[in-house]
Structure formats: C-alpha cells, structure tokens
Structure 1
Amino acid sequence: MTDDSISAQGFRPSIYATPFQRSGDGAAVELLSVSEQDELIGISRLINVRRHTVLYPEGGQALFVYNIVSGVAQTYQLQPNGDRRITSFLFPRDLLGLSENGTYVATAQSLTPVIAYKIPIDALGAILERDPRLDINLLCKLCHELRQSQHHTITVSKNDGPARLANFLLWIERAYVTPGQPVGELMLPMTRHDVADYVGLSVESVSRALHSLESQGAILRNGPRFITLLDISKLRRLAGLE
C-alpha cells in the first residue's frame, strides 16, 4: 500500500464521540485534549494514502490503529462465496483497526485519498496505562461506534427500500461534512454498488429508492453522487425516525 509520511500541516489527531456524561445536546464532541493529541502525535506517523488503497487486510497482524483526519475509508469482510460485505464507512475523526486475538477482523480500504495518523498499538497501550482519561475517551468512541453499528442493523432490517436510503442519507449528512459544503448538499464518496451492499439492497433497488425519494420531494439528484436533501423532516418520517 502507499504509506507516505507527510508533515503535520496543521493536522492533529481527533476523536469525536458522544461522551458518557450528560452534557450539551447529546451531540458528538472532541474527546482529546491538546496534551493527549500531542502524546498521540509523538508516537504516530501522519500518512497519506491514495484512493482505493488497502490499509490492512482481514486476518493480517494487528500492529496499528488509524485515526482519519481527512478522507473516507471502508471496511469489508469476504464471504465464503467470495463476495464482499461492507461492514462500515469511516470518516474524519474516526478510528480504524478493529482486531481480535491480534488480527484485523476486516479489510480496510480508502475510498478517497486519506490522511491519517498511523498509531502503533504497543505504544498506544503504554500511553493508556499512564492516562486513564484517554482510556475512557477511547471507550466512549468504541461505544459510539457500537451505537452506529446498531443503527446500521436497524436500517438494513427495514423492508422498505426508501426507508433504508433515507436513513443512510441522513447518516451521511451528519458524518461526512466537507469544508465549504452547503447544508444539505451531499457528495457521496462511495459508489452506488457500495451503498447497495451496505444497506442490503440490489443496485437496482437503490436506484428505485432514490427515484422514490426524489418523486416525494425529499431529495434532488444532481448527478450520480451529488444529492441535495430538500426536506429533512420528510426524510426522517420516511426513515421511521419521527
């Protein structure tokens, strides 16, 4: 894989998640203090990978975790018949590197050019032993991602294709905000095939669901990957969130 170290250029480690303590409006917040960011910078390399690059393979030895600071990645597992099953999409401020018994549980691949901090697991473990607060913050992030996984399970359990797509678009709108992007304007970094795999539909069903959402005035398609969310309330109703 391409693994070119680059200068910091103002990039800092960042982990967003909903904290355990009740505070604010329940939205995700930055969990890392400046000193904790500095500690992670001290043990990490800031790397740049090209789009469609494998960061690590399923079953590979788990030596690093990755904190995305720019770009989008996905994880997937290979099924017995050779098909891929996308398990997650990862965005800036997310962590990559879920492992079990010392090996990665899925393959991680960049969908766009990705800049990330590559953090050695052994060095991270040493920091966690010295800093219980950072340990709690990472636990918050894992719980945050568990809630996202549960949300995904609920999404794909819905029989209605438009409901699945409405859920998916609302999630992307929250999770993937690019600089200068107008509110409600989405540029999907994944292909329609990737979307179909993730929400448990065929590509044709995704196309029909998008057409249904558009005909109901909830979205406007401006191209294969450019979508405007016209009516958030209607999307939430269609998704079963209201």
Structure 2
Amino acid sequence: MKLKGKTALVTGASRGIGWEVALAFAREGADVAISARTEEPLLRLVEQITALQRRATVLVGDVGDEADVLRIVTTAAEELGRIDILCNNAGLLKIGNVDRLSVTDWDQVMRVNARGPFLCSQVVLPYMKSQNYGRIINMSSGAAIRCAAGYAAYSASKAALNALSLTTAIEVADYEILVNAMSPGYLKTAMNPEGTRPAADAVPTAVMLAALPSDGPRGRFFRFEEEMIVIPESPQIDWTN
C-alpha cells in the first residue's frame, strides 16, 4: 500500500472527486479526515473507510471561514495524531460573463477555490514543518490556463490556486513538504454533470502526488491530456507567445 501509516485531510469530500480521493487514500493505507459543509454524506463515506480497517474523522465546516478551518485542521491533527497529506479539493463553480456576473458570485467562487486552500494550507503547514514531512495537493483545473466565456470567476480562482501552489512550494523548499496542483480533467460530478469521465479517474494522480518520494516534483501543475497521460508542467505562462 502506497500510503500505509500516513494520515490525510481531504476537503470537499462529501461527493465526487473528494469522495473518491478520500476512499482511495484509505485503500492505500491512510487514515483520513474528511471535511465538507454537509455531515450526512460524510457519515456514509466513513462507513466505507472504516470497512477498509482505516480510521476516519468527520469534520463539518466551511473552508472559506477562518475559524472553521482552524477547528477542522486542529481536530484532524488531534484525532489522527498528525497530518501528512492535505488535499484541497473543495470547489465551487458559478458561470457568467464578466459584464453579467454578480460580485456575490465572484466572491463566493474566490472564497471557496482560492481563499479555502490558502487558509487550509496556512493552518496545516506548521504541523508539516514540525514533522518535516508533508504533501499538499491542490485540486485545480485546466480552466486555469484554457479560458472560456462565462468562466471568468472559476478560471481566475484556479489560476490563483496554481500561483498559490508554486509560491507555497518555494516557501517550504527547505522542508520535505511537496506542494503541487493537479487538474483531474473533464470529469462527471455534481458540479459538472456534463463531464465525460467518472470522478474516480482523478484517483491515480492524487495518489501519486500523495505518495511522492522526498525528491519528487514540487510547485508543478499536473493535468490530463485527452490520452489520459499525466504530464507535469510549470504553471508559468509565457504571455508573449
């Protein structure tokens, strides 16, 4: 098992990609803290995780709320003993062209997709630094670099997440803490019902990033090509081309 003896915190775990990733981490031997705004689906996920003989902790809260994040991370660390892996998966999509998108919708998307991972990383990092070990996986999107009409808020939030990933990776370069972003591809989820592949297709990349060796990549953006090949690439873009 690739994650035997490890512990993980997965946000947005009540459905879709977060659910599949949390369950996969447990299958690979990790104890898992799962977080979302709604408790009932998390309790169903706990049943599946404990059936794998792994510990599971349910943490209800809003990743955009500073007090909630502090409680979620602190409780996860206390109940699991440490936090080895953080998967910032919670996400929100609001569609609207720039001249029609409400400020409220813009702020909500940024709050969940950018502020949330920032807050979670900020609170988790002291634990990872103290143990000189950590893996942070930020669930990004191809929309960060391939923009489309109506996706201004979502694309901007994911571009911010990529920048956060790279910056954090640079800041913790003296520790064995590897921070990376990944785009799971065009997957079928409640947020994206028109997706062409199942949410479980995100699992191999997420597990790979969670189990990276100490000399593994950091500050990279992993995305799926149509051929389902995982390709690491820098989130930096040459705007002159």
TM-score by shorter chain over 0.5: no
Point out the structure with the larger strand share.
1
| TM-score, scaled to structure 1 | 0.27
| TM-score, scaled to structure 2 | 0.27
Point out the structure with the larger helix share.
2
Structure whose alpha-carbon radius of gyration is higher: 1
